Amino acid sequence: MSTDFSHVLAPGRIGQLELSNRVIMVPMGTEMGDHDGHLTDREVAYYAERAAGAGLVCTGINAVTDDYEVINAGLGRVDTDAATPGLVKLAEAFHARGGRVSVQLTAGLGRNINNIDPERLPISASDNSHWLDPSVKCRPLEADEIKVIVQRFKEAAERCAEAGIDAIDIHGHTGYLIDQFMSPVWNRRTDEYGGSVENRCRFAAEIIAAVKEGAPGMPVSFRLSVDHHFEGGRTPAESLEIAKVLEAAGLDLLMIDEGSYEAMDYVFPPYYLGDNCMMGSVQTFKDALSIPVLGCGNLTAERAEAAIASGEMDFAGIGRALIADPEWAAKLAEGRREDIRPCIRCNQLCVGNAFVGQPLGCAVNPTVGFERERMLTPADNPRKVAIVGAGPAGLEAARVAALRGHTVDVYEKSDQLGGVLWPAATPEFKKELRSMIFWWERQLKDLPVTLHLGTEITAGSPELDDADAVIVAVGTNPLTPPIPGLDGDNVIEVIDAHLGAELGHRIIVCGGGLSGADFALEMAEKGHDVTVVEVADGIASDLLMINRITLLRDLAEQGVTALTGHRVVEVDATGVKVDGPDGPVHIAADTVVSAFGVRPASALVEALTARDNAVAIGDCVKPAKVGDAINAGFEAAFAL
């Protein structure tokens, strides 16, 4: 692994603003504001914590007006002077740390707005259909209304400048209102704001000019989705012409990303999309423009370094990885690349929370949103802690307990750390999940933690006798329904299949939850003929919608057959008998994989938690997502 990140860490400049390095935290919403959409102390603390991880930190979107579109409660807004005190706190928090902060301003969501107000139709460039409810037609903005919105940008920029904010980003991507004007698929106007590229970009260009007038000398960036990834959407070639117009309008930095609501998985790329998934056209923009260019999209530190070193781009856009580890750049500077906590790209508690209006969280970093409350200070009464189970809950509990000064012994019956993460992370697209295990292993090496692998704990195990506190994190057991033949020689439990059991060419996966679906995709990518049988109406129905978009597309592209609404009736030596809407059918297979799910290891939990000093956490209480287990481990250890 490269240890030289000198180009990523080199000072950078955007307009007149000097940055300590080339890492920029790209805008992401937090849902941490107050009901009126103004910055809270909690939100300021979250952003400021990331000053060590990036030369510039951009906030999530802030509305500049509610003249024509309702601003949902809690959505960031800088449309009145009531926003100024929060902006001042934000600027002061960054400057006290030697950091720089940018505020992202939005004209609105337009056809992408989540809640439709029956009193006011959604606005757009033209009479577009609402993305979620095509029966609702948007109201095209009038030219004089556009002028009002442009004026609101100037006023918002003035507030940011007065508060001491360092830069402003314009929210122009993903098919939101400004993007609806720039794209012919949504802009069918015949006035000065429609038709040619220059006319379609007039709204954006006027906004850039207004921001610069309101905040003289402050650099302005623009986030542009250069590939919408849907039929009729904008392509990189079309976006390049737009970028040239924006540069001519005075833009100081172009942030390149991809996606749209029609291809939402590119907006929040899950692990299925792999590393560096939006870098395909960055070089083209860099070659054509004279202003700095930023690339992003599941960027690795190594790819960022290589791209900046070669002149492919000027700045590295890091998003969720800075949620996972706010010291991203600082650790690179200290030569501690392996100590950066991996973002597993699960979208569970960051994007997933935002979708339901909950404050931002993180599957692997439980301090997100609790930067002040969850500081790992020494415990008043250091104790001897025994942890049973070295899965994600147990490992995080061990790390946190040890950092607080407790002495920790971890007992794991297998010979490998990670619990179910280890086999579940065998696919290449889940490599970051496996990286978490290596990360925990490295963190625990320098802490007062003793790992006891290959050690099975029971209710009477003497290892627990001298513990002051016992944390039980023993996970789950496979669910094995009473299906005839499920104990046959050709049947393999999904965990064993992940761990290298011999598999035939034709595989039937019984169970289409996330575990079965991911395994099916992994095997199909390796060339197997795979069929998934699932009694429910959909595959991986409990998976976050954004991630599921990519999973289903990948399964289809790899030729995986999905038999939903089918129940496994019997397994025999030649395959599986299933019953579906059209009656029973037999499917031939060489190997049958049992992926019916899991249930808590309740017997062991009950035996161990009979002790007064024991608490159970994670999947052994209730099977859930990995982020839930990690957060439970943190909370249990933090409470000691």
Among 54-68, 194-208, 419-433, 472-486, which stretch is predicted with the lowest mean pLDDT? 419-433
DSSP codes of every residue in 12-73: EEETTEEESSSEEE-------S-TTS---HHHHHHHHHGGGT-SEEEEEEEES--SSS---T
Question: CATH number for the 384-478+600-638 domain, one of 3.20.20.70, 3.40.50.720, 3.90.870.10, 3.40.718.10?
Answer: 3.40.50.720
Q: What is the mean pLDDT of residues 486-508?
A: 95
CA dihedral 27, 31, 34, 35 (to 10 degrees): 120
- Contact of 471 with 617, CB cutoff 8 Å: yes
Helices (H), 325-389: 328-333, 351-355
Residue 71: per-residue pLDDT: 86
Cα-based distances in Å from 252 to 16, 99, 538: 9, 19, 46
- Contact of 77 with 38, CB cutoff 8 Å: yes
Q: How confident is the model at residue 356 (pLDDT cuts 50, 70, 90)?
A: confident
> How far from chain centre, in Å, is Cα 412?
30
Q: Which amino acid is at 118?
A: P
Dist CA 76 CA 90 (whole Å): 13
Q: How confident is the model at residue 355 (pLDDT cuts 50, 70, 90)?
A: confident
* Closest-CA residue to 13 (of 100, 112, 131): 100
Among 168-182, 416-430, 583-597, which stretch is predicted with the lowest mean pLDDT? 416-430
Close Cβ partners of 133 (under 8 Å, ≥ 6 residues apart): 116
* 2, pLDDT greater than 70: no
Q: How confident is the model at residue 51 (pLDDT cuts 50, 70, 90)?
A: very high
DSSP H/E element including 567: strand 567-572
Question: CATH number for the 12-355 domain, one of 1.10.1130.10, 3.20.20.70, 3.90.1150.10, 3.40.640.10?
Answer: 3.20.20.70
* Closest-CA residue to 410 (of 388, 442, 383, 436): 388
Residue 117: per-residue pLDDT: 76
Dist CA 305 CA 189 (whole Å): 43
DSSP H/E element including 522: helix 514-525
For the record, the structure tokens of 336 come out as 């501690």
Kindly state the percentage of the chain with pLDDT values over 90.
93
Q: How many other β-carbons are positioned within 10 Å of the β-carbon of residue 462?
A: 7
Q: How many other β-carbons are positioned within 10 Å of the β-carbon of residue 540?
A: 24
Dist CA 414 CA 323 (whole Å): 32
Q: Which residue has the higher pLDDT, 116 or 421?
A: 421
Q: What are the tens digits of pLDDT across the range 99-152?
A: 999 999 999 999 988 777 777 889 999 999 998 889 999 999 999 999 999 999
Q: What is the overall mean pLDDT for the chain?
A: 95
The answer to whether the 12-355 and 491-596 domains have the same CATH topology is: no
Helices (H), 446-513: 494-498
Beta strand spans in 422-501 (E) = 449-453, 469-472, 476-478, 491-493
Dist CA 126 CA 201 (whole Å): 14
Q: How many other β-carbons are positioned within 10 Å of the β-carbon of residue 167?
A: 26
User: How do beta strands 469-472 and 476-478 pair?
Assistant: unpaired
Q: What are the tens digits of pLDDT across the range 302-325?
A: 999 999 999 999 999 999 999 999
Q: What is the mean pLDDT of residues 523-538?
A: 97
* Closest-CA residue to 113 (of 180, 165, 199, 207): 180
Residue 118: per-residue pLDDT: 75
Dist CA 114 CA 116 (whole Å): 7
φ, ψ (nearest 5 deg) of residue 562:
-110, 115
Dist CA 97 CA 48 (whole Å): 8
Close Cβ partners of 109 (under 8 Å, ≥ 6 residues apart): 69, 122, 176, 177
DSSP codes of every residue in 178-231: HHHHH-TTT----STTSSSHHHHTHHHHHHHHHHHHHSTT--EEEEEES---ST
CATH of domain 491-596: 3.50.50.60
Q: How confident is the model at residue 1 (pLDDT cuts 50, 70, 90)?
A: very low
The position carrying tokens 């009729």 is 232
Angle at 173 between CA 171 and CA 178, to 5 degrees: 65
Q: Which amino acid is at 303?
A: R
Residue 115: per-residue pLDDT: 76
- Contact of 228 with 196, CB cutoff 8 Å: no
- Contact of 360 with 30, CB cutoff 8 Å: yes
Reduced to 3 states (helix: H, G, I; strand: E, B; else coil), residue 549 is helix
Q: What is the mean pLDDT of residues 445-459?
A: 96
Dist CA 368 CA 374 (whole Å): 9
Mind telling me the catalytic residues? 176
Q: How many other β-carbons are positioned within 10 Å of the β-carbon of residue 483?
A: 18
Reduced to 3 states (helix: H, G, I; strand: E, B; else coil), residue 599 is strand
Per domain, the residue ranges of the chain are: 12-355, 384-478+600-638, 491-596
Angle at 349 between CA 32 and CA 598, to 5 degrees: 150
Residue 321: per-residue pLDDT: 98
For the record, the structure tokens of 571 come out as 């397994």
Dist CA 188 CA 125 (whole Å): 8
Q: How confident is the model at residue 357 (pLDDT cuts 50, 70, 90)?
A: confident
Residue 308: per-residue pLDDT: 98
Q: Could you tell me the pTM of the whole model?
A: 0.96
- Contact of 404 with 397, CB cutoff 8 Å: no
Q: How many other β-carbons are positioned within 10 Å of the β-carbon of residue 610?
A: 9
For the record, the structure tokens of 65 come out as 């007006």
